[in-house]
Amino acid sequence: MAEETWYRRLNDEARKQYRDSAQSLFQGLMRYIAAGGDDAPAEARAIGNEYAARAQRFGLHAADAARAFLFFRDALLQSVIEVNQVANVPSGRVWGDVLRGVNTFTDLTLIQLLETFQERNKG
């Protein structure tokens, strides 16, 4: 992570906040999957808004904000893969449903991050 341009621009407090928000992203995703997709847009929007606000507060541009989100999204996906391997989730339909859920939730979050970033820059 230390090699990431966006990460080097952050102070210790910002780095801590990004780590904490990664946990929020994971928890939001787990709630989304457990609920079968209910309330995904609302939770994804809230997390996207949080990522955008943080990025702007710490002087990141939209592309770096997206890079930071994608870094944590990739770590999240790795965690989901590991959890499913440990739980012996069978491949096929169940695993496909999980991956679709991850993609749907994180895509909504990223789009909201970018839209929020754009709106804040207009104002």
The domain that contains 56 carries what CATH number?
A: 1.10.490
- The range of the structural domain enclosing residue 12 comes to 5-122
Q: For 16-61, what is each residue's pLDDT tens digit?
A: 998 888 888 888 888 888 887 666 788 889 999 999 999 999 999 9
Q: Record the pTM.
A: 0.86
| Reported confidence tier of residue 123, pLDDT bands at 50, 70, 90 | low
- For 65, other C-beta atoms within 10 Å of its C-beta total 24
- For 63, other C-beta atoms within 10 Å of its C-beta total 12
